Amino acid sequence: MIESTTFTPLAVKHNVSSVPKVVINDIYEFVGAQPINVFLDMIEKI
Residues binding another protein (CB under 8 A): 1-7, 10-11, 14, 16, 19-26, 36-37, 39-40, 43-44, 46
Q: How far is the CB of 25 from another protein (least distance, A)?
A: 5
Exposed, middle or buried by CB within 10 Å (0-12, 13-18, 19+), for 40? exposed
Chain center to CA of 7: 14
Q: How far is the CB of 39 from another protein (least distance, A)?
A: 7
Q: What count of Cα atoms within 13 Å lies in the side-chain half-sphere of residue 32?
A: 3
Q: How far is the CB of 32 from another protein (least distance, A)?
A: 11
